[in-house]
């Protein structure tokens, strides 16, 4: 996935893998040190579905814009243009935010606080392994246009 000499961000780890590993770690931690959310099964499911909705909206909105612009969402591939419309008006990383929200929803649905807490670690790892290289690539490729976008839209929310 390294892109030395190629047009693309030097993303080292596929971001979805970070979230999946974090969820798996949360499941493992629940066996070692069980924690409880303290709600019944039905309220947990309802709450999880409510939490999942914004995550689904962010991820699907970003993917729709990628498809419409002819871009590939894989972060190590070339970016022909900066997307600044739709969900990208509110966050520079709607897919990462959306998947983090979905991780929280999974934790709620499973009644597993570890998965919820590890969402913060997921975001930190994605920041280091994906967002920083992506931002460096976009700054180098698009210069002032990306700097203006970056100064007007938050990284997360």
In order of start, what are the domains of the chain with their CATH numbers? 15-152 (1.20.120.1630)
Q: Which pLDDT tens digit goes with each residue over 22-59?
A: 999 999 999 999 999 999 999 999 999 999 999 999 99
Q: Using CA atoms, how far apart are residues 94 and 117, in angstroms rounded to an integer? A: 20
Place of tokens 């460096």: 136
Q: Grade residue 2 by pLDDT with cuts at 50, 70 and 90.
A: very low
Residue pair 100/58 in contact (Cβ under 8 Å)? The answer is no
The pLDDT score that the predictor gives to residue 14 is 97
> What is the reported pTM?
0.93
Alpha helix stretches (DSSP H) within 10-143: 15-32, 41-69, 94-110, 113-126, 132-142
Each residue of 126-155: pLDDT tens digit?
Answer: 999 999 999 999 999 999 999 999 999 999
Contact (CB, 8 A) for 19 and 100: yes
């Amino acid at each position: 996935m390294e892109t030395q000499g190629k047009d693309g961000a030097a993303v080292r780890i596929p971001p979805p893998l970070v979230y999946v590993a974090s969820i798996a770690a949360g499941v493992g931690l629940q066996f070692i040190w069980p924690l409880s959310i303290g709600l019944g099964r039905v309220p947990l499911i309802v709450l999880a579905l409510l939490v999942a909705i914004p995550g689904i909206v962010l991820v699907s909105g970003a993917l729709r814009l990628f498809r419409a612009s002819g871009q590939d969402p894989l972060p190590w591939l070339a970016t022909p243009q900066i997307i600044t419309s739709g969900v990208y008006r509110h966050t520079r990383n709607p897919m990462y935010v959306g998947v983090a929200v979905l991780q929280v929803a999974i934790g709620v649905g499973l009644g597993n606080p570890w998965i919820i807490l590890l969402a913060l670690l997921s975001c930190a790892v994605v920041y280091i392994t994906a967002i920083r290289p992506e931002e460096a690539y976009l700054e180098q490729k698009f210069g002032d246009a990306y700097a203006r976008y970056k100064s007007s839209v938050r990284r997360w929310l």
